[in-house]
Structures are given as C-alpha cells and as structure tokens.
Structure 1
Amino acid sequence: MSLLDLTKRNVQRNFRLYTIYLFSMIIGVIIQFTFSSLMYNEDILDSLQNRTNFRNGVIIASVVVFMFIIFFILYADTFFMRQRKKEFGMYLLFGLSERQITLMVFYETLFIGAISLIVGILLGGLLSKLFGMLLMNLMEYDHVISLSFPIQAIGSTAALFFLLAVIISAQSYFMVRRVQLIELFHAKEKMEKPVRSSQLLALLSILLLGVAFFLIGSGKGSVYWQDYSLASLISVTVGIIGGTFLFFRQFAGWILQFMSRRRNYHEGNTVLWTSSLRFQIRGNTLNLTFITLFSTLIILLVCFVSINYKVQFEAVGRNLPNDIAFQSLDSKTNGTIDNLIKTSGHATRYHRSQEFLEAVPVTDMALAFENPEYYLPHVLLVSEHDYNSLITLRGDGQTVDLQNNEAVSLAQGSDFPLALKPGNQPIFQVKLETVHDFTLVEKKDFALLGWATDPVQSMIIKPAVLIISDEAYSSLRKDTAVRMYEIYQIDDAKNAGALSKEVHGLVSAVSGAYYSSFADVYAIQIESSSLLLFASSFLALIALFAMASVIYFKQLREATDEQQQYAILRKIGVDHVQMKSVIRKQLLFVFAPPLVLGILNSWFIIKTYILDSVQDFPNLTSMVWAIMLLYFLIYLLFYVSSTNLYYKIVNQHR
C-alpha cells in the first residue's frame, strides 16, 4: 500500500476529525482571501480619494491577519496531531519511518489545503463583495462593488497555505521524532493534577483586581495619575494580569474547594461537575487568563475605533465649521472665487464677509488656548455682535454676552473648556498700536474660523480667535485696519473636493493667505476612520475565531479524554437530562468568568479614559453597551455550541 493510499484511508476512517481540521483550514482561507482581495479590488480603489493611505493601511492590517491565521491553523493542527499520536505510534510499530509519516502528513495537508483553497476562495470572493459594500457604506460613498477574484489575492493565499503545509509537516516530524513510542500509545491517558488552593492567594487575586479597578476608575485627573503615573500604570498592569491569573489559578480552585465542604455538596449533580473542574484548573489557567485579557483588548479596540468613527462625522464639522472660508483678497479674485462657487453645482446657503482685528499676543498664548503650537502666532479679535450674528446664522447656539474688557477665547479642541469665575479670571494682553488688557471669562471649545487646510495636507494650523465686547471692539477699530474673511456655506459640502482644489489654487497664489475647506478634511478623516473601523472590526472578528479555536479545541480535547468517565456515569444511571445539566454547569464555570472580567476591565477603561473625554457627543455610551451586548451574544453562541459538541462527543460510544 502506497503512502497516498494510506492517506486516503486515513481520511475515510477519521472523517469527523478531518472535517474539523478542514473547517479550520477553510475559515483561514476565507479570512486571508477576503482581506487580500479588498486591497486589489479596482471598484474600491477607484472610489477612494486617498488610495495610497488605503493600501498602506491594508498592508499593515494584512500582516496582522497573516499572523492570526498562522496561529489559528497551527493551533488547530496541534490538536489534530495530538489526537493522532496513537495512530502514529502504530505506524512506527509497523515499520514506517519518521520521514514517511512526515511525507504522509504533507500529502494530507496538501489535499485538505487544496479543498480549502477552492471552497475558501469561492466563499471569500462573495464575502469580499459584501465587505467592500460595507466599507463603502461606512465611508458614505454610493459606489457599486462588483464580484471579483483578483489573481494577486489568489496567489498570495495559495502561497500562504503552501507555506503552512511545509510548517505543519516540519512540526509533525519533530513531534514524532521527539516522543517515545510508549508515550504515543498513552498520550491520551495522562491526567492533570488538582492545584492546591490557598485562601490567602485567592483573596490576593481579588485585592489585585480591586486595586486595578480603583486606580482606573479614579480618572486621569486624580492625584494617582497626576503625581504617580508610572507607579499607577505598573499597579494597574500587575493588578489586571496578575489578578486575573491568580483568580483562575487560586480563587476558582478555592471556590470549588469551598463548595466541596458544604453539607449539601452531594445533593443534586454538584459533585459531578465540580470534581472534573478541579482537575482541569491547572491546564485551563493560562487559557482562561489569555481569553480574559484577549476579550478586554478586543472590546477596547472595537469600542475605541467605533467611537472614533462616530465622533469624526461631527468632529470634522466642529473643526471646520465653514464649508469654505478664506482671507479676503483683491476684489477681482474675490469675484472670480464667488462666481466659481456659484457655478459649481453646490448651491450657496449664505455668504458672509466677516471683519476681524489682527493683534499680537503679549501674554503667553497657552493661557487662553491649549496647545498653542496648533495656532497661528497672531490673534484675531471679533466683536460680540458679529460673533453672535454669525453663530445665529449657523444655528450653533453658542452666543456670548460680554461687558467692558471681558473676552472669550475660542479654543476648539480643548480637553478642558472652562467658564472662569470672578476672582480666577486672568488678564490676557494683546498689542495693536498699543497694549490692551482683556479679562478672560471663558475658554470655549468652539471655532468661528476652522483649521487652515490644504487639499493634499488636510489640516495645517488654526487661527486664534478672541471675542471681545462691542464697546472694546469699536474703540480699537478706530485706529486699526480691519482684516476681512469670506465665509461660505454650500450644499453637499462633503463632495466639494474638486471645487476646493480650484478655490485653493486661487487663494494660495497669495503667500500666507488663510484658506479653509470642509471637503479637504472630510474625505481624508472619514476614509481613514472608516478604514480603521473596518480593519479593526475585521481583525476583531479574526481574533474571536482565534479565541474560539482555543476554547473549541480545548473543550473538544477534554470531552474526548472524558468519554470513559461519562460512559461510567451512564452505566450507574445518570440520564441524558442530568448529563446535559452537568456539562452546562461545568462549561459555564469555564466560560462565564473570562466574559465578566473582560467586560469589567474594558468598561472601566472605556468609561474613564474615552467616554468621559467625549461627553458632549451623543449616544456614545449606548453604542458601547451595544458592542458589549453583541460580544456577549457571540460569546453565548460559543458556549451553547461548545456544550452541544461536548455532549455529542462524550455520548459517541454507547
């Protein structure tokens, strides 16, 4: 019998085991091809304004995808090879060499890989169209995405799985070569030893987690993070990682030990599902710790990029409140630009010529404007009346009421906007012909003139605007030349990129002239945040599959090892209902703690360091809870499918 015949008979005899392995390979092909094909889909590339950024982002994400797939497939192969150790022992006993066994595994991997490539590429092509449509929807682009199978994506996917076949064959060779023949026959008979639980270490795990939650919940403005940031960071890291490890290693064992000492321990089926768990703690500790920390990272990643995506749509409008704004030029150029805008197909909602006084700050800019390096070096003064008039026209509801020498700084993007109380209102000095003092009564997180922009570079720098009372403005205006700015609001501003390039070409002819366009930033910001959300969600989905593989194959192995114990239970009269109850409780003890700890970790971090910083953006908290609910439902699906699989395996041999 040739090795090919032996390979064929192996597949037929162990079809269920090979089906599990084949399914893992198909999932890997689908993931790889779906993501690769998006990078080469011409419909997607033609719709983007920043193809280079898209390709760079996808290439970086592809590296991460590649690593996840290797982990996913090799983990599945490790389980697959372990289940076949006894089989390999028989082959060695019958005279096959280690090289022949390795060659047989290589043939099997190529056979399974070929089927996986065909099925995975077909399904991956369909999914790439679906994900391409989803990406366009995130970017709010109305483009049709056709079904395509780029040859580059097929080639890279095939190359990846040929490489995996070589790695898997090498892995099987070293496994067979290292293990003694007697170990191969008894590979499934090794039992874990129960861990000795310590009440002190169990309490230490709760203390470590409690300290971590306390420090995170105290907020970045607390004394712990302001004065002892490094110590707090180390404490949180040790608390979460060390506390989680001890929780599963000691606290879980202590709980099981405590339950075994209760008077009603032998009532019902408690003794059945807890006794098995006590022997599994040692082997499950690292897995459960990994799953908990991985869950935290997945939820954090998806919530962060989702919040970033959600905020971008409104943040771009806050950063660029005017669809087109530029420093007024000569009347001829102004007329040319006005005619260009009116004939562009973007109807003008309003056009306003706004005057400002340009002053030189005497006081340190940081007093009125956070991160002064983002601002132009001069300060533009605007009257209270003109400001309120323009704000009313825009419908923003951010009007002010000033008296005498009071002033409000427009520090859009401030982390801590502040209304200053009497007695704590600093003096901000500016120089026109002479130096003038203004009492700063508020730092407002708002923009009258947005960032200066460029169609290529996006946001560059922003003007510093100070609102002063009408009386003060009238007094200063008498002896100071005014500077005019043209402000336009137009329809469909997000698609006015072509118009912006033409207007920018005219304005930039005057060196240093201010120009700002909503369209310049919208396309770049929305495309980048959409790509970030899409790539992160895709990676989170892969990470979930990787985590599911850890849970799935671990439970599959344990169920296979415990077939004999469950056979004994059936013989002593345990019915199917009780057996299902035992399995559900046993797996719930494994599934629930990582889920609860993962959600708690991520919620504390998200609430304190993300949501509290974007409180003025609506519906973000409900979106975070929706993401966590979705994660819970996916995790619940893992639990239900694992309990069903576990039950089927332990009841195979009747």
Structure 2
Amino acid sequence: MNLLNMTFRNVQRNFRVYTIYLFAMITGVMVHFTFSSLMYNQDILDVLNNKESFQTGVSIASVVIFLFIIFFILYANSFFMKQRKKEFGLYLLLGMKESQITRMVFVENLLIGSFSLVLGILLGGLLSKFFGMALMNLMQYDNVITLNFPYQAIGSTIILFLLLAIIASIQSFFMISRVQLVELFHAKEKMEKPIPSSFIMAALSLMLLATEFFLISRGKESSIWQDHLTFAMIAVTVGMIGGTYLFFRQFSGWLLQKIRQKHNFHEGNRVLWISSLRFQIRSNTLNLTFISLFSATIIFLIGFVSINYAVQFEAVGRNLPNDIAFQSLDKETNEKIDAKIKNSDHSIEYHKTLEALVGKPNTNMDLAFENPEYFSKDVFLFPEKAYNEIISLRGKQEEIHLEDMEAVTLSQGTDYPKPFPSDQLPRFKVNVNEDITLKLIEKKDYALLGWASDPVQSMILKPAVLIISDEAYQNLKSKAKTVHFEIYEIENEKQAESLSTDIHAIVTKKPDTYYSSFADVYSKQIEGSALMLFAAAFLAVIALFALASVLYFKQLREATEEQRQYSILRKIGTADRELKSVIRKQLLFVFFPPLVLGILHSWLILKYYILDSVQDFPQLTSMLWFIFAIYFVIYVLFYLSSANLYYKIANQKY
C-alpha cells in the first residue's frame, strides 16, 4: 500500500477528526480571500476618494488577520495530530520511518489544503460581494458591488496557504519526532494532578480584581489618575493580569474544593463534573487567563472603533460646522466665489458675513484652549450678538450673555465643557493694538468657525476664537484690526468635494488665508472610520474563532482522554441524559468565566474612558450592549457545539 492509498484510508477511517481540521482550513481560506479580494475590487476602488489609504489599510489588516488564521489553523493541527498519536505509534512499530509519516501528513495537508482552497475561494467570493456591499453601506455609498474573483487575491491566497501547509507539516514532524514510542501508546491515559488551593491566594485574586475595577471606575479626571498616573497604571495592570490568573488558578480551585466539602456534594451529578474540573485546572489556567484578557482587548477594540464610527458623522459637523467658510478677500473675488456656489448643484440655504477683531495673546494659550498647538497663534474676538445669531441658524439653544470684559473661549475638542467659578475667573490678556484683560467665565466645547481644511490634507488648524460682550466689542472696534469671514450653508454638502476644490484654489491664492469646508473632511473621515470598523469587526470575528478554538479543541482532547471514565459510567448504569448534564455543567464552568471577566474588563474601560467623554451620544451605550450580546451569542454557539461533540467523543466505545 503506497502513501497516497494510506492517506485516503486514514481520511475515511478518521473522517470526524478530519472534518474538524478541514473546517478550520476552509474557514481560514474563506476569510483571507474575502478580505483580500476587497482590496482589488474595482467597483469599490472606483467609488473611494482615498484609494491609496484604503489599500494600505486593507493590506495591514490582511497581515494581522492572516496571523490569526495561522494561529487558528496551527492550533487545530496540533489537536489533529495529538488525536492520532496512537495511530502514528502503530506505524512506527510496524517499521515506518518518521520521514515517511511526515510525507504522508504532508500529502494529507496538500489534499485537505487543495479542497479547502477551492471551496474557500468560492465561498469567499460570494462573501466578498456581501461584505463589499456592507462596506459601501458603512461609507454611505449606494454603488452596486458585482461578484468578483480578483486574480491577485486568488494568487496571494494560494501562495499563503501553500506556505501554511508546509508550516503545518513541519509542526507535525516535530510533534512526531519528539515523542517516544511508549508515550504514543499511553498519550490518552495521562491525568492532571489537582492544584492545592489556598484561601489567602483566592482572596488575593478577588482583591486584585477589585482594585483594578475601583481604579478604573474613578475615571481619568480623578485625583488618583491626575496625581498618581504611573502608580494607577501599574496597579490596574497587575490587578487585571495577576487577578485574572489567580482567579482561575486559585479561586476556581478553592471554590470547587469548598463545594466538594459540602455535605450534599454526592447528591445528583455534582461529584462527577466537579471532580473532573479539579483535575483540569492546571492545564486550563493559562488558556483561560489568555482568553479573558484577549477577549477584553478584542471587545474594547470593536467597541472603540464602533463608537468612533458612530460619532464620526456628528463629530465632523462639530469640527467643521460651516459647509463653506473663508476669510473675506476683495469684493471682486468674494462675488466670484458667490457666483460659483450659486451656479453649482448646491443651492445656498443662508450666507452670513461675520466681523471679528484680531488680537495676539499675552497669556499662555493653555489657560483658554486645550491642546493649543492645534489652534492659530492669533486670536479672533467675536461679539456675542454674532455668535448667538449663528447658533440660532444652526438650531442650537446655547445663547450666551456677557457683561463688561467677560469672555467665553471656544475650545472645540475639549472632553468636558468647563465653567469657571465666579470667584476664580481666569484672566486672559490680549493685545488688540492695546492690552486688554478678559475674564474667562467658561471654556466651551464648540466651534464657531471650525478647522481650517484642505481638499488633500483634510484638517489643518483651528482658529482660536473668543466671544466677548457686545459692549466691549464696540469699545475696541475703532482701535483694533478687523477681519471678515464669509459663512455659507448649502444643500448636499456631503457631495460638495468638487465645489470645495474650486473655491479652495481661489481663496488660497492669498497665502495663509483661512478656508474651511465640511466636504473636505467628511469623505475622508467616513471612509477611514468605516474601513477601521470593517477591519476591526473582521479581526474580532477571527480572533473570537481563534480564542474559542483554544477552548474548543482543548475540551475535545480532554473528552478523548476521558473516554475510559465515561465508558465505566455507562457500564454502571448512568443514563445518557445524566452524562449530557455532567458535560454541559463542566464546560459551562470552563467557557463562561473568561467571557464574563473579558466583558467586565472591557466595559469598565469603555464606560469610564470613552463613553463618559462623549456624553452627548446616549445611543452609544445601547450599541455597546448590542456588541456584547453578539459576542455572547457566538460564545454560546461554541459552547453548545463543544458540549455536543464532547458527548459524542466521550460516548464512543473505549
């Protein structure tokens, strides 16, 4: 019998085990091809305004996703090989060389890989159309995406998975060569020893986790984080990693030991699943710790990019509240720009001209503006009347009323609006051909003019704006330098890139002239955040499959090792229903603690460091709970699938 015939016989005899490995391979090919084909899909590239950034972003994401696929498939291959150790031991006993077994495994990998490539690429092509439409929807484009199989994506997928077949074969060779013949025959009879648990260490795990939760819940504005940043970060890191590790290593063992010591321990099937778990803690500790922490990272990532995408639509409007705004030039140029807008496809909803005083700050800009490096060096002083008129046109109810030398600073981008106590008003000195001292009553997270923009560079710099009382403005106007700004609100501003490019070219003929356009930033921000969300969602799904597979294959291997014990239970009359109940309870203890801890870690960080900074978006909390629900459902499906297959393996004749 040659190696090829032996390979086919192996597949027929161990079809169930091969099916698990084949599923892992097909999933890997399908996911990689789906994502790679998007990078070369001409229907998508024709729509995008930033093709180079899109392809670069997809290329980076493809590398990260492929690394997860390697992890996923190599872990599946590890399970696959350990399930066949007894078979390989028989081959060695019959005189086969390790090199012959390795060649046989390589042929198997090629056959499985070839089938996986064909089926995975076909499924991936169908999915790429669906996900391409989803990506266009995220970017708010309504273009049709055709079914596409780019030859570049097919070529890269074939090369990468041939490489993966070689790596898997090398892994298989080392697994065969490092194990002695006697160990191969007894590989399924090894038993873990229960770890001695300590109440002190169990309590320490809860203390570390409680410390982490407490520090995170204080929020970044608390004195702990403001005054003791390094200490707080170290304490949270130790609490998160150390607390999670000890939770699984010590607390779970202590809890099982306490349950075992109860007088009713032998009632029902408790003795069966708890006894089994006590022997599995040692081998599962690192896996459960890793899964908890990495789950927290993945959930945080997808939560963060989802929030970023959700707020992006309104955030662009907050950063650039005017559809078109520019510093007034000469009368002829202003009229030329006005005529260009009127003759475009974007009718004018309103046009206002605002006058401001130009001043130079004599006080440190940090007092009035957060992150002053993003603001202009000069400050622009607007009267409260002009400000109230504009915000009324925008439909806002945030009018301000000032007296004497009171002022409000528009520090758009600050995390929290900051009204100053009436008895501690900061003094901000400005030179407007004479030195004046303004009393700051509030730092507002608002923009009157918005970022200066460029069709290519997007956002450039924010004008530093102060609102002063009408009385103070009139008193200073005759002495100070004035400047005027033209503000336009137009229809279909999201599609005004072409109009903006034309006006920008006219305005910037005079260097350092302020120009701002909503359309310059909107397409770039939405395309970028949509791609980030899409890539993160893809990465999260792959990572979840990889993490769940760690538990999945680990439990299936333990099911194989426990076939003898379950055979004895069946012989003494234990019903199938009882065995299923034992398996479900045992796996529940393994699958759900890392899920709960992962969600807790990520929720705390998202709640106190992201959501609290965007309090104007109450819908974000519901969106995060929706993400948690999806993650939970996928985990439940893995749990149910694992429990079902665990029973089938354990129920086989020993």
Q: Which range, TM-score by smaller chain?
A: over 0.9
Task: Measure how far apart 1:418 and its partner are.
Answer: 1.0
Distance (whole Å) between structure 2 residues aligned to residue 244 and residue 362 of structure 1: 52
Whether the 8 Å contact between 2:194 and 2:278 is mirrored in structure 1 is yes
Whether the 8 Å contact between 2:409 and 2:444 is mirrored in structure 1 is yes
Whether 1:572 aligns to 2:572 is yes
Any idea what SS the aligned residue of 1:509 has? coil
2:387: which partner in 1? 387
Letter in 1 for 2:291: I
Letter in 2 for 1:71: F
Whether 1:152 aligns to 2:126 is no
Distance (whole Å) between structure 1 residues aligned to residue 6 and residue 18 of structure 2: 14
1:24: which partner in 2? 24
Task: Measure how far apart 1:481 and its partner are.
Answer: 4.2
Whether 1:186 aligns to 2:181 is no
Deviations 1:120-151 (A, max 9, x none): 00000011111111111111011111111111
1:607: which partner in 2? 607
Task: Measure how far apart 1:415 and its partner are.
Answer: 2.2
Distance (whole Å) between structure 2 residues aligned to residue 379 and residue 131 of structure 1: 47
2:461: which partner in 1? 461
Q: Counterparts in 2 of 1:70-109, with a 5 A limit?
A: 70-109=70-109
1:297: which partner in 2? 297
Letter in 2 for 1:470: D
Alpha-carbon RMSD: 1.2
Letter in 2 for 1:312: Q
Q: Counterparts in 2 of 1:48-197, with a 5 A limit?
A: 48-197=48-197
Any idea what SS the aligned residue of 1:355 has? strand
Distance (whole Å) between structure 1 residues aligned to residue 593 and residue 318 of structure 2: 42
Q: Can you give the 5+ residue segments of structure 2 that lack an aligned partner in the other structure?
A: none
Deviations 1:38-57 (A, max 9, x none): 11111111111011111111
Distance (whole Å) between structure 1 residues aligned to residue 335 and residue 574 of structure 2: 90
2:501: which partner in 1? 501
Whether the 8 Å contact between 2:353 and 2:486 is mirrored in structure 1 is yes
Task: Measure how far apart 1:452 and its partner are.
Answer: 0.3
Distance (whole Å) between structure 2 residues aligned to residue 176 and residue 373 of structure 1: 61
1:433: which partner in 2? 433
TM-score (norm 2): 0.98
Letter in 1 for 2:182: I
Whether 1:199 aligns to 2:199 is yes
Task: Measure how far apart 1:609 and its partner are.
Answer: 0.9
Any idea what SS the aligned residue of 2:241 has? helix
Whether the 8 Å contact between 2:256 and 2:274 is mirrored in structure 1 is yes
Distance (whole Å) between structure 1 residues aligned to residue 651 and residue 177 of structure 2: 34
1:513: which partner in 2? 513
Q: Counterparts in 2 of 1:570-649, with a 5 A limit?
A: 570-649=570-649
Distance (whole Å) between structure 2 residues aligned to residue 214 and residue 39 of structure 1: 44
2:400: which partner in 1? 400
Whether 1:652 aligns to 2:645 is no
Which runs of structure 1 show a deviation greater than 6 angstroms over 4 or more consecutive aligned residues? Answer: none
Whether 1:266 aligns to 2:266 is yes
Distance (whole Å) between structure 2 residues aligned to residue 8 and residue 421 of structure 1: 81
2:447: which partner in 1? 447
Bigger mean CA deviation after superposition, 476-485 or 444-453: 476-485
Deviations 1:353-395 (A, max 9, x none): 1111111212222211111111111111111111111111111
Distance (whole Å) between structure 1 residues aligned to residue 394 and residue 227 of structure 2: 43
Distance (whole Å) between structure 1 residues aligned to residue 92 and residue 564 of structure 2: 26
Distance (whole Å) between structure 1 residues aligned to residue 24 and residue 434 of structure 2: 76
Distance (whole Å) between structure 2 residues aligned to residue 361 and residue 633 of structure 1: 56
Q: Can you give the 5+ residue segments of structure 1 that lack an aligned partner in the other structure?
A: none
Q: What number of residue pairs does the alignment pair up? A: 654
Whether the 8 Å contact between 2:432 and 2:481 is mirrored in structure 1 is no
Distance (whole Å) between structure 1 residues aligned to residue 150 and residue 583 of structure 2: 46
1:470: which partner in 2? 470
Any idea what SS the aligned residue of 1:376 has? strand
Letter in 2 for 1:451: W
2:356: which partner in 1? 356
Task: Measure how far apart 1:419 and its partner are.
Answer: 1.2
Letter in 2 for 1:318: R
2:487: which partner in 1? 487
Distance (whole Å) between structure 1 residues aligned to residue 162 and residue 375 of structure 2: 54
2:279: which partner in 1? 279
Letter in 2 for 1:161: F
Distance (whole Å) between structure 2 residues aligned to residue 428 and residue 224 of structure 1: 29
Letter in 2 for 1:457: Q
Distance (whole Å) between structure 1 residues aligned to residue 369 and residue 95 of structure 2: 81
Any idea what SS the aligned residue of 1:65 has? helix
Letter in 2 for 1:511: P
1:252: which partner in 2? 252
Distance (whole Å) between structure 2 residues aligned to residue 290 and residue 633 of structure 1: 20
1:563: which partner in 2? 563
Distance (whole Å) between structure 1 residues aligned to residue 125 and residue 631 of structure 2: 26
1:237: which partner in 2? 237
Deviations 1:84-122 (A, max 9, x none): 111111111111111111111111000000000000000
Distance (whole Å) between structure 2 residues aligned to residue 153 and residue 649 of structure 1: 38
Whether the 8 Å contact between 2:415 and 2:614 is mirrored in structure 1 is no
Whether the 8 Å contact between 2:208 and 2:243 is mirrored in structure 1 is yes
TM-score (norm 1): 0.98
Distance (whole Å) between structure 2 residues aligned to residue 259 and residue 102 of structure 1: 47
Deviations 1:424-447 (A, max 9, x none): 112222112211222111111101
Letter in 1 for 2:297: L
Distance (whole Å) between structure 2 residues aligned to residue 462 and residue 617 of structure 1: 24
Distance (whole Å) between structure 2 residues aligned to residue 333 and residue 152 of structure 1: 50
Letter in 1 for 2:20: I
Distance (whole Å) between structure 2 residues aligned to residue 576 and residue 183 of structure 1: 32
